[in-house]
Chain A
């Protein structure tokens, strides 16, 4: 075997391992349908779902709904990231600020964003604002809490080093505290984005005239279970893509940290 072909074969092997499980599920699912074990009305086969997907793409409905949902998420997430990061850093650096805010954060955090929907509608109406508010709430807490945690975990050894070198406070925060907290901050952003994406769908399921959640709800009322599945799978795929993007950014920002990748 030459040295060229081996990594090539390796890569094919890894790709097969990566796709294997999902492919097997599809095959079994389709097979069960052909064997007559599942009724298409209850669980349509992959081929039917694919056809429904094609129709939705052709009509332009897919792009519209996905676009609207993604735009809502990005808006809510951006606000959450901005506020979560800046408040998180401020609270992480100040014990007084921590004492002032801790109780409120800890009590509001366990309330699921969906439980806010009635109030959100009351306050912001049925339009865009209420959805963005729900998304914001969902993303805000993972971001702020991970940011505070990351800052609090600043290595005491580096604190001492900075004292010995008389490092000014701003530089200490910029060069020691924030880089050290960055892995935790990135985890917060990743979890926040995931929660935001789940929240948009939840908010659209309950009150919306557009978006991927609305697509599912609308299809359910029309008993189009294939469209429901298209919606669900689309949510999953987009969530995965978002996560991959953040992971890639994280890898670039935290390139100094050799990590354990499994055996």
Chain B
């Protein structure tokens, strides 16, 4: 597929979003401007409640009542669409469908191609052997991988990932990070990953976007110009990590642990 056809560049301009809570209102996002290149991998970090999920949901077309524009390629986003895939914090697999049925759930037409597509996706995430299993028979990591397969089957231009590995243990999380990197290298989909794990953000992202909280604004964008696969204990990696920590350190005036 040609670059021009796919065009997964994302431009966000002057985005504001507020929620009405009781009589008052919460400004979730203020003055967000972001330009993401086609095929880029962007990590977004920020403390809890700073509007990360809200930002992804707006891009996915699940929210309304915001001002500003979101453009994917040359089209303005005004609702959900198959050009964007979304992976939620929980896997959201339908418990009554098997793994393969869950992946096929994303396909709306019924063509003889479907079966092959589903098989390919399951292969991509390494779950071919579990096609007939039900979600409750999977581990958390496996379930999240099925969710990834489901999100990728329509070949979205942009994949939105909202703390997809947040609920996994440290070892599985590292495995999944390598997996998502491998998938990205195959598919070259534009990636937008929200995480509260700074290491994860640096390990995966071409750039790390730091959001400040209440209201959520882009505080800084840190480029990560390290070759992949990245070594988490290399000098450069540690330097970038320090840099990002410092951002939070100033904001909250107390030292942070490794995950925020």
Q: List residues of A whose CB falls within 8 A of some B CB.
A: 157-158, 160-161, 163-168, 171, 175-176, 179-180, 182, 254, 256-258
In the bound assembly, the distance between CA atoms of A179 and B105 in angstroms comes to 14
Q: Is the interface of B mostly helix, strand, loop or mixed?
A: loop
Report B-chain residues with C-beta under 8 Å of the C-beta of A161.
Answer: 88, 92
Q: Do A165 and B136 touch (CB < 8 A)?
A: no
**B218 on interface, CB distance cutoff 8 Å:** no
Smallest beta-carbon distance B189→chain A, Å: 15
Count of interface residues, chain B, beta-carbon cutoff 8 Å: 24
Q: Give the chain B neighbours of A257 by CB distance below 8 A.
A: 95-96, 136
Contact across chains for B105 and A165 when beta carbons are under 8 A apart: yes
Q: A160-B62, A258-B136 are in contact. Are A165 and B106 (CB under 8 A)?
A: yes
Q: A164-B86, A179-B97 are in contact. List 4 more A-B contacts (CB 8 A).
A: A166-B108, A179-B94, A256-B136, A257-B96
How far is it, in angstroms, between the C-alpha of A158 and the C-alpha of B95 when the chains are bound?
A: 11
Contact of A176 with B86 in the complex, beta carbons under 8 Å: no
Closest CB in chain A relative to B87 CB, distance in Å: 10
Report whether A166 and B81 are in contact in the complex, using a CB–CB cutoff of 8 Å: yes
B94 to A175, Cβ gap below 8 A? yes
A256 touches B96 (CB 8 A): yes
Residues of A within 8 A of B95 (CB): 256-257
A113 to chain B, nearest CB (A): 34
Shortest CB–CB separation between residue B86 and chain A, in angstroms? 5
Question: Chain B residues near A165 (CB, 8 Å)?
Answer: 80, 82, 105-106, 108, 150, 154
Q: How far apart are the CA atoms of A37 and B225 in the complex, in Å?
A: 95
Minimum CB–CB distance from B162 to chain A (whole Å) comes to 11
The 6 closest A-B pairs by CB, nearest first: A179-B96, A256-B96, A164-B86, A163-B80, A165-B106, A256-B95
| Chain A residue contacts of B92, Cβ below 8 A | 157-158, 161
| A166 pairs with B82, CB closer than 8 A | yes
Contact between chains at B88 and A167 (CB < 8 Å): no
Complex Cα distance A163/B108, Å?
12
What CA separation (Å) do A175 and B97 show in the bound complex?
9
Q: Does B134 contact A (CB under 8 A)?
A: yes
In the complex the two chains form, what is the Cα distance from A235 to B95 in whole Å? 38
**Between-chain CB contacts (< 8 Å), 6 pairs:** A157-B88, A163-B80, A165-B80, A165-B106, A167-B105, A180-B96
